[in-house]
Structure 1
Amino acid sequence: MIVPLAAGSTVDAVARALGPGFGRATGHPVVVENIGGAGGIPGTSQLVKAAKDGLTLGMISSNHVINPGIYKTVPYDSLKDITPIAVIATVPLVLVVHPSVPAKDVKELIALAKARPGTLNYGSAGNGSTLHLASELLVSETGIEIKHVPYRGTGPLVTDLVGGQVQMGFVSISQVASHIKAGTLRALGVSTTSRSAALPDVPTLAEAGVPKYSFDAWIALVGPAGLPKATIDSYAAAVKTAMAASELQSALAGQGLTPMSIGPDAAPAFFQAELAKHQKLVKQSGATLD
């Protein structure tokens, strides 16, 4: 199972949590191989070239549908060169601000940003990252003007959010839950259409005053294009079996994830819609990488 991201990432954690149960259900022990770098392109390139025997799969994330918009060249088609098997989980994001920001809720933050256009800044994990695009969607839906400060990863971003070097940003819940509890960051809203079980008292952005806002990262299991239907159906059933185990549910909850049950029949339409949505946000953001 290729994970086109570094070991220790959320996607890697999900692959390693799913692997044992999936392996038992399919009769194929799962070996996770991390091939990181360049937004997941090198690892995914290896996946799409793999034999169509079902013995090489990949655990991908939202980066898969972001990359075509920010990289000048992607050596595969994000839709045609994969076989979707299952969308495993979504990754709810939470909008946090440093306590020094004089806004107690989303409406106050929007009012503050409109009163001081261009003076507030937000951080992200890098140009074109899901955290960047989540903020761009907020900008698009509210008409506010805030400055983007890209970081090289979530770790440095969280450090500077807590330190007050950057004022606000969207971050995965698992990365900042302890800071929210300690009061070193203030949570204003979660990005998904439903509240997160990990932060039940934090409203959604839609509830908090941005009615059309909905954004989440996601994690999916795919194979190279052309897998036999029997293999696809067998693997989709194995995912369902593995996902039903309490230990896997606990592992996902521990990462602040929300399980999903999008199978191979509905997954292609899901990928197509996500590609269109993210490409629009990428164009709006102006993000580009060589």
Structure 2
Amino acid sequence: MRQELSRRAFTRLSACAAAAALGPHTGAWAQPAGLPGASDKPIRLVVPLAAGSTVDAVARAIAPAFGRSTGHPLVVENLVGAGGIPGTSQIVKAPRDGLTLGMVSSNHVINPSIYKSVPYDSLKDITPIAVIATVPLVLVVHPGLPVKSVKELIAYAHEKPGVLNYGSAGNGSTLQLAAELLVSETGISLKHVPYRGTGPLITDLIGGQVQLAFVSISQVAPQVKAGTLRALAISTPRRSAALPELPTLAEAGVPNYSFDAWIALIGPADLPKAVVDADARAIRAAMASPEANAAIAGQGLNILDIGPDAAAAFFSAELLKHQKLVKQSGAVLD
């Protein structure tokens, strides 16, 4: 059942992305779209994640072009803590005037499964505007581990069940769920070691305290190039331009594997259609800007262009998929 769900969800995602592939934008999109009924006040973009995170980097990169497209300056505000719940709470409670938006990650649909209480409905209390990018994760191992491919890692894990430790950025994090999907698809046995963030995880991974992990490309590319970590494969359905020589996990011998974190623009529920359409045009134009292109290259992202109509279905499918993975992992947070 889980494999069938994964294939259906990603088939829909691939179809949406293929149907509306992001390309260069010209003409009317270069003109300010404006927000119907709004003054020239700035738009507040709440990022419920820390400054310096991948989502934050993208938010700040698109801010100038988004402001030019809407005619409203975009001000990024980081509201961190509890997996992004406090920040998202402010987004869902904001007035429906389009002057408060949010840029969220996959955690938005993971939180309802791992936290005992979330003070909003992750589907009903938001207006999905666009899913703009996926964050490929790279499977890396300590170079002392005698494996140089995914097939060798799987064989080693089968020979020594329960011996290998994998690290993550915490219980219920996308990094844990990516590893749990690998466990599910291959039948191997791994021990989970949760960390408080990716910094300590990478330090211990280099030191050999844990043997493998899924981590975003931007966070380990220098270590991979220096040889202090060995990269085996990419989690996403297509290869990453940041590490083009690496196969996907599907190419490397796990045919049903496909996992990525993602970034989306949302607003509070029941935003007027005219506002949603204006914001959707603005985010497309912003994602094609030089500022965004530089950030995308630096973060190793894959661009998506899933607009308002398809974004709602995407959120629903992702919520269901992560419910299955969280249940498998056993992750629960207070």
Category of TM-score, reference length = shorter chain: over 0.9
Cα distance in 1 for partners of 2:66, 2:245 equals 34
**Partner of residue 52, structure 1:** 96
**Partner of residue 192, structure 1:** 236
Q: TM-score, normalised by structure 1?
A: 0.99
Structure 1, 249-258 or 137-146: larger mean CA deviation: 249-258
**Partner of residue 86, structure 1:** 130
Structure 1, 6-15 or 34-43: larger mean CA deviation: 6-15
2:165 maps to 1:121: yes
2:233 maps to 1:172: no
* Offset at residue 27 of structure 1 (A): 0.7
2:75 to 28, 31, 36: 31
**Partner of residue 19, structure 1:** 63
Structure 2: segments with no counterpart, 5+ residues: 1-44
* Contact map agreement 2:134 2:303 (CA 8 A) in 1: yes
Tell me, what secondary structure is at the counterpart of 2:297? helix
Cα distance in 2 for partners of 1:141, 1:203 equals 17
* Offset at residue 162 of structure 1 (A): 1.0
Cα distance in 2 for partners of 1:260, 1:149 equals 32
Cα distance in 2 for partners of 1:114, 1:184 equals 25
2:205 maps to 1:161: yes
Over the aligned positions, Cα root-mean-square deviation in angstroms equals: 0.6
**Partner of residue 217, structure 1:** 261
Cα distance in 1 for partners of 2:65, 2:182 equals 38
Whichever residue aligns with residue 215 of structure 1, its letter is F
Fraction of identical pairs, as percent:
77
Cα distance in 1 for partners of 2:165, 2:284 equals 42
**Partner of residue 155, structure 2:** 111
Cα distance in 2 for partners of 1:160, 1:20 equals 38
Cα distance in 1 for partners of 2:98, 2:163 equals 52
Once the two structures are superposed, residues 235-281 of structure 1 have per-residue CA deviations (whole angstroms, 9 ceiling, x without a partner) of 10111111112331121111111111000010000000100111100
1:145 to 189, 192, 209: 189
**Partner of residue 21, structure 2:** none
* Contact map agreement 2:62 2:289 (CA 8 A) in 1: no
* Offset at residue 150 of structure 1 (A): 0.3
2:183 maps to 1:183: no
Structure 1: segments with no counterpart, 5+ residues: none
Cα distance in 2 for partners of 1:144, 1:248 equals 39
Cα distance in 1 for partners of 2:285, 2:52 equals 25
Runs ≥4 in structure 1, deviation > 3 angstroms?
none
Cα distance in 1 for partners of 2:78, 2:295 equals 19
Q: TM-score, normalised by structure 2?
A: 0.86
